[in-house]
Amino acid sequence: MKIACILAGVLWLAAPLASHAEPTERQLKLLQNNCLQCHVREHLGAPVMGRLEDWSTRNRKGEEALLRNVVQGLRGMPPLGYCAACDEADLRVLVRLVAGLPERK
Amino acid sequence: MMDTSRRHFLGMAAAGTAAALLPGCAPHGTEPQTPVAYEAGKPLPWINWAGTQHCIPKTRLGPASEAELAEALRTARGTVRAVGSSHSFSGLVPTDDTLIATDLLSGLVSHDTATLQAELWAGTRLHDVGPLLASIGQALPNMPDMDYPALGGAIATSVHATGPRYGSLSSHVTGLTLATPGGELIECSATRHPEIFSAARTSLGALGIVTRIRLQNEASFQLTEVNRIERTEDVLAELDERMTRHRHFEFLPLTNSDLCVTVATDPAKADDKDAGQDDPQAINDLRKLFDAVSWMPGARAVYDRLLKIALGDAASTVRTGPSHQVFPHVRVVRFREMEYMVPAEAGPACLREILQTIRERNIPVCFPLEYRQVAGDDIWLSMFQGRPSACIAVHQFGDVDYKRYFAEIEPIFWKHAGRPHWGKLHTLDAARLSALYPKHWQDFQEIRRTLDPQGRMLNAHLKTMFGV
């Protein structure tokens, strides 16, 4: 099941990036070091990357609400998602990647 | 910590009681979970995991190379602090000037199969250290019970696990590279710049920023962890024997109860199998139960009785697998923690006094304590310097005021010559701390003044602790 979750996350990342977000190599490393430790693992309570049903309700709140939760932390979600190196632009890209949100035009 | 059937019972008991007795569920003087609010377009705040520390740095840097980090240190303005995963509870990180994150300095640098040593970038998260080392046939001899911290932060604060034959993570360091506040890179070990090495293995980030860390590892190994519910006094009665018998042993006394959770970890046998399920949410069920009965006269006795019914004959939980998967546990419930290291022989008396104080003063807390044991070392500011230690931790939920509770307990640690964990909450200043480190406190301060004569690495918390 763990492999299935990781695979879903990888496929999620491999989907046409233009419709989601275009991360830099640096941002992908930040994703790997921080976000993936929780968002590709089941049974933690964290929404799993690539599992649409985990995100549909959350994503309806919009990117700003998701970003606020990331920065401030929410329940098990640590403030800034553990990413102290992230600036706001980094966090926006990572939020879009993890949540599968389309890039804002 | 508990298997699902135990959790189910606790949940049912809590829900049933709470439904009838909702007034008992009132929170005990809550404080905001978030110390500072995010506002779009405003500078991004930094907040630690527990929400006990925050700052809004004017400059936030994430260097992608050692040279970039050294240059950033050399040219940084104002007070400079380093940050890894932001897991420290204490005020080691906050600065309103320059914050340097080590996130991008991560991964394996090199390794030696003959000596079983490996060098890693200091920003590598512990949850990545295990798989990285496994890929080269190595493993950390011991690991904390959670793997979120960055290696550099873990070393800076002497992060530890349990087992009287094992020292803290800092004690497994055989060499490191330090970027000084002046931007110089210094490689040090027991034979190269040995005094800087003795100071930098537990530096609180006061000497500059450690960029690489060489670790003495073991060949990869498998472990089996067994969790049981037992009586705290039964465990204390044979504590030395259990610490000797198991490769690793710790226990978590349940406050306002006679029970505890024991965690014994040993080399795995071929037929070991997982049983039960590690449940990171179980602590919330303890809380529901505690809150549900807390209004009652004699609530502590009711709570203890319910716990015994729920947990008394519960089966063990077993986890087996590669060491880096068995040592750490998932943490999804945020809390605040104070931990002191007392001389190992003082541990049982200190623990009993804490449990008794909680009962006698009617302190409303259900978050378990934690009792571990760690070998002594020779690192100047290590909490384990010169003495094998019992490590006793108290915790409170992240949305509940912890200060009154911790204030009741902290003097008990002082009475037993406790040294506070550098990364956790405490109230000691330079006068009290220097007395706890009579052998090397001044040695450390001299090295610090040599490397950072202008005190650029000192924030308010460090100034208080160092008396600057």
| pLDDT tens for each residue of A20-65 | 568 999 999 999 999 998 998 887 788 999 999 999 999 999 999 9
Sign, CA torsion B193/B196/B199/B201: negative
Q: Is A24 an 8 Å CB contact of chain B?
A: no
CA-CA-CA-CA torsion sign (B223, B224, B227, B230): negative
pLDDT tens digits, B42-89: 899 999 999 999 999 999 999 999 999 999 999 999 999 999 999 999
pLDDT of residue B19: 33
Looking at chain A, which residue has its C-alpha nearest residue B45? A71
Q: Does A79 touch chain B (CB under 8 A)?
A: yes
- Cβ distance A78 to B334 less than 8 Å, yes or no, reads yes
Confidence of residue B332 (pLDDT cuts 50, 70, 90): confident
Residue B177 has phi, psi (to 5 degrees) of -115, 125
pLDDT bracket for residue B211 (50, 70, 90): very high
Average pLDDT over residues B261-274: 94
Which residues partner with B187 through β-bridges? Answer: B177
Identify whether the C-beta of residue B336 lies closer than 8 Å to the C-beta of residue B31: no
- In this predicted structure, what is the pLDDT of residue B10? 52
Q: Give the pairing type, strands B222-231 and B317-322.
A: antiparallel
Q: Kindly report the nearest CA distance between residue B19 and chain A, in angstroms.
A: 23
Q: Can you tell me the mean pLDDT for B257-265?
A: 93
Mutate to test the interface with A, among B3, B39, B44 (most CBs of A within 10 A): B44
Decide if pLDDT at B295 tops 50.
yes
- pTM value is 0.90
Q: Touching check for A78 and chain B: CB below 8 Å?
A: yes
In this prediction, residue B28 carries a pLDDT of 43
Residue, of B373 and B37, whose pLDDT is higher: B373
Facing residue for B83 by CB, picked from A44, A72, A84: A84
Calculate what percentage of chain B has a pLDDT beyond 90: 77
Query: Which residues, other chains included, contact B232 with Cβ-Cβ below 8 Å and sequence gap of 6+?
Result: B251, B253, B254, B258, B259, B260, B355
Give the residue-averaged pLDDT of B27-36: 58
Of A33, A72, A84, the CB nearest to B99: A84
Size of interface A-B (CB pairs under 8 A): 99
- Spatial contact of B392 and B340, defined as CB atoms under 8 Å apart: yes
CB contact under 8 A, B38 and A78: no
pLDDT above 60: residue B201: yes
Model confidence pLDDT, tens digit, residues B93-116: 999 999 999 999 999 999 999 999
Helices A88-99, A63-72: inter-axial angle, 10-degree rounding:
110
Q: Is the pLDDT of residue B171 over 50?
A: yes
Residue-level length of chain B: 468
Amino acid at site B191: T
The predicted pLDDT at position A7 comes to 53
A2 touches chain B (CB under 8 A): no
What pLDDT, on a 0 to 100 scale, did the predictor assign at position B57? 97
Q: How confident is the model at residue B32 (pLDDT cuts 50, 70, 90)?
A: very low
Kindly state the average pLDDT of the residues B412-438: 98
- The CA distance from B428 to the nearest CA of chain A, in Å, is 27
pLDDT at B293: 73
Least confident of A39-53, B6-20, B166-180, B239-253: B6-20
- Confidence band of B287 (pLDDT split at 50, 70, 90): confident
Task: Indicate the range of B140-149, B153-162, B269-278, B370-379 predicted with least confidence.
Answer: B269-278
Per-residue pLDDT, B6 = 53
Q: Provide the sign of the torsion angle of the four alpha carbons B294, B299, B300, B306, taken in this order.
A: negative
Q: Which range (A18-27, B155-164, B458-467) has the least confidence?
A: A18-27
Reported confidence tier of residue B239, pLDDT bands at 50, 70, 90:
very high
> Domain spanning A2-99 has what CATH number?
1.10.760.10
**CB contact at 8 A, B26 and B172:** no
pLDDT over 80 (residue B122): yes
Q: pLDDT band for A15, please (50, 70, 90 cuts).
A: low
pLDDT-wise least confident of B26-35, B314-323, B425-434: B26-35
Residue in B with minimal Cα distance to A41:
B330
Pairwise CA distance, residues A101 & A85, whole Å: 22
- Maximum C-alpha span of chain A: 36
Look at residue B310 in the predicted model and tell me its pLDDT: 74
Which residue is it, tokens 């670790």?
Answer: B215
Q: Could you report the predicted ipTM of this complex, rounded to two decimals?
A: 0.87
So what's the pLDDT on residue A102? 81
- At B309, the pLDDT band (50, 70, 90 cuts) reads confident
The mean pLDDT of chain A is: 84
pLDDT, mean of residues B117-133 = 97
Which band of pLDDT confidence, cut at 50, 70 and 90, is reported for residue B399?
confident
Q: Which of B16-25, B160-169, B384-393 has the lowest mean pLDDT?
A: B16-25
On whether any CB of chain B is under 8 Å from the CB of A73, the answer is: yes
The answer to whether residue A67 neighbours chain B at the CB level (below 8 Å) is yes
Q: Which residues of A touch B46 (CB under 8 A)?
A: 79-80, 84
pLDDT band at B12 (very low <50, low <70, confident <90, very high): very low
Share of chain B above pLDDT 70, in %: 90
Contact across the interface for B332 and A44, Cβ inside 8 Å: yes
Mark yes or no for CB contact B280/A46 under 8 Å.
Answer: no
The arrangement of strands across the sheet holding B108-112 comes to: B108-112, B117-121, B209-216, B173-179, B185-189
